[in-house]
Amino acid sequence: MADFLMPRLGADMTEATLVAWKIQPGDLVFRGMVVAEVDTAKGIIDVECFQPGKVLELVAHEGELVPVGAVLARIEGAEALPVEGSRPRAEESGLVSEQVSKAEKPGVALEAVPDFNAAATASLPKRRLITPRARHLAEQAGIDWAKLPGAGPDGAISAADVERAIQNRSLDAESGSGNSSVQPQRSPGSRMREAIAAAMEQANREIPHYYLRAVVDMTAASAWLRQENEARPVTQRLLPVTVSLKAMGLALREVPELNGFWKEGRFEPGNGVHIGFAISMRGGGLVTPAIRDVDRLSLDQLMVRLTELIPRARTGRLKSSELKNGTCTLTSLGDLGVAAVWGVIYPPQVALMGTGQIAVRPWVVNEQVLPRPLMEVTLAGDHRASDGLIGARFLKVVDELLQTPQALRTNE
Amino acid sequence: MVKHTRTEIRAAIGAAISSIAPEADWERLDEQVDFRRRLEIDSFDFLRILVALNQQLGVEFPEADYGRLVTLAGLVAYIEAAEQ
């Protein structure tokens, strides 16, 4: 038997409200199964289980505020999961180093989510949180609880809130005054803004960035893509960003100094190449869900991943396993005509690659000025973890790979 | 190939754009303007719009023709021509 603990979903989290259980005592759970929803200041997160087992007891109740590391449930057949090592298969959620607060007692490890990405859920129309008892009370009293202010974290509505509303209603009715019980809520957009602000503030405070820029001749890559897409129906076309992603993934494998994390004063290499892909939200904000093992995916596989991931990131709800720590980030900002992007590294990562628009510009080839499709590739590097030479080596490899696009195609 | 009326084509385009940019008032958009830039539709979402139109109307959009598909007027004209 093992305890299933409240995970730490970000360095500044000390507690979270258990919003809903997705399991009942007696249920069998498997690795990667969403077992609960918890709500932090940064949004609702689907918490996934890491170990198979049978649910014995739900210790925490829905609506309860639970400290990090406290027992949520007891699960039979689950052994404590080591924090490092024994990584699950890529498709299932892997382990991140920012794990459950190293519990002294055996615990079922839960997925941990970096701060910044936890805000993904904050972009969605916010579901109001309410405890079952509060809901029952509100329904009995005929109160529209969705409009009530909640005193719990993130506006969670407790029975006390409902009782207060009932009291206010009778007071209002007595005094004849209007509805005074509704207070303005912070919008989901502003919650995401705050999370981004916190991560970027930390990045600029702690990371001594250096920046490099390379201009890559995209003649070969563009021609190859054009030829490739000519033969494909619109439903199977490849976007140029898949080529950038793959080149970046392979280059990170070759220059591993840029793939990983800066932790406790030293560089910790990433376990695999998992690229956080910056996805902007309509109406502001961005998320960087990681695409796992980019270096081992074919362009078609990458396209499938993006096709599935981007709409969900923008409109749907990301799962905690998708919000895992990427080992490096790609921001692709060329669509609106940006030539180059000077990015801010997402801590604790140590590098970020940016790509601008592929634009036809004059370029000297064999002492002749020719019109060529060019793309500016930039690198922001953490100078604590690497030096400019490493960054230069990385950009050189990216450039070389983009000159032989047919070699990028497969999952080798 | 099934021939659609201009109204049906415009409705299909509108639905595809709205599914990606729900806040956009595409009916009041300048017919001649590049709607990708106006509505901040990136290359991924542009492809999704074409896929949606392909699936709904059965029209194929070769990549070489993308340049003609970036305004509402151009897109309508292209689909009408393809259905002839």
Average pLDDT in the B29-39 region? 91
3-state secondary structure A33-101: CEEEEEEECCEEEEEEECCCEEEEEECCCCCCEEECCCEEEEEECCCCCCCCCCCCCCCCCCCCCCCCC
Find, in chain B, the residue whose alpha carbon is nearest to that of A282. Answer: B21
Q: Tell which wins on pLDDT, A282 or B70.
A: B70
Instruction: List the domain boundaries for chain A.
Output: 2-113, 132-175, 200-408
Long-range contacts, B76-80 (Cβ 8 Å, 24+): B76/B6, B76/B9, B76/B10, B76/B13, B79/B4, B79/B9, B79/B53, B80/B6, B80/B9
Q: What is the CATH number of the domain that holds B70?
A: 1.10.1200.10
Q: Domain span at residue B79?
A: 6-83
Average pLDDT in the B22-27 region? 84
Listed in sequence order, the residues at least 6 apart from A271 whose beta carbon sits closer than 8 Å to its beta carbon are A87, A94, A327
In chain A, what residues touch B63 (CB-CB under 8 Å)?
Answer: 226, 229-230, 237
Architecture of domain A132-175 in this structure: Irregular (4.10)
Query: What pLDDT does residue A194 have?
Result: 83
The CATH class that applies to domain A2-113 reads mainly beta
Cβ contact (<8 Å) for A235 and B21?
no
Query: What pLDDT does residue A117 have?
Result: 53
Q: Strand, coil or helix: what is A14?
A: coil
Q: Strand, coil or helix: what is A249?
A: helix
Query: What pLDDT does residue B8 have?
Result: 93
Q: Which two tokens stand for residue B53?
A: 């139109």
Query: What pLDDT does residue A170 have?
Result: 57
Residue (of A29, A14, A31, A11) closest to A95 by Cα position: A31
Q: Which two tokens stand for residue A238?
A: 């490849």
Query: What pLDDT does residue A244 have?
Result: 97
CA angle A86, A90, A91 (to 5 degrees): 130
Helix or strand run (H / E) with residue A214: strand A209-217
Q: Which two tokens stand for residue A345?
A: 């590294």
Cβ contact (<8 Å) for B51 and A234?
yes
Of all residues in chain A, what percent carry a pLDDT higher than 90?
A: 46
Query: What pLDDT does residue A221 have?
Result: 97
Considering only the beta carbons, identify the residue of A234, A311, A335 that sits closest to B42.
A335
List, for residues A79-119, the tens digit of each pLDDT value: 544 333 333 333 333 333 333 333 333 343 333 333 445 54
Cβ contact (<8 Å) for A336 and B43?
no
Q: Is B38 on the interface with A (CB under 8 A)?
A: no
Of all residues in chain A, what percent carry a pLDDT higher than 70?
A: 73
Report in angstroms the alpha-carbon separations of A309 from A120, A281, A302, B66: 12, 13, 10, 24
| pLDDT higher than 60, residue B32 | yes
Query: What pLDDT does residue B29 have?
Result: 87
B1 within domain boundaries: no
| Domain A2-113 and domain A200-408 have a common topology | no
| Mutation target vs A (from B37, B42, B79; most A CBs, 10 A cutoff) | B42
Shortest Cα distance, chain A CAs vs residue B47, angstroms: 8
Q: Which residues of A57-91 are buried (b: 16+ CB within 10 A; e: fewer)?
A: ebbbebbbbbebbebbbbbeebeebebeeeeeeee
Shortest Cα distance, chain B CAs vs residue A409, angstroms: 19
Cβ contact (<8 Å) for A230 and B62?
yes
B26 within domain boundaries: yes
Which residues in chain A come in under a pLDDT of 50?
11, 42, 80-116, 119-126, 173-184
The ipTM estimated for the assembled molecules is: 0.89
Chain centre distance of CA A375: 27
Cβ contact (<8 Å) for A239 and B60?
no
Q: Tell which wins on pLDDT, B19 or A250.
A: A250
Q: How many angstroms separate the CA atoms of A211 and A351, rounded?
A: 10
The CATH class that applies to domain A200-408 reads alpha beta
List, for residues A155-214, the tens digit of each pLDDT value: 677 777 777 777 666 555 444 444 444 444 556 667 778 888 888 999 999 999 999 999
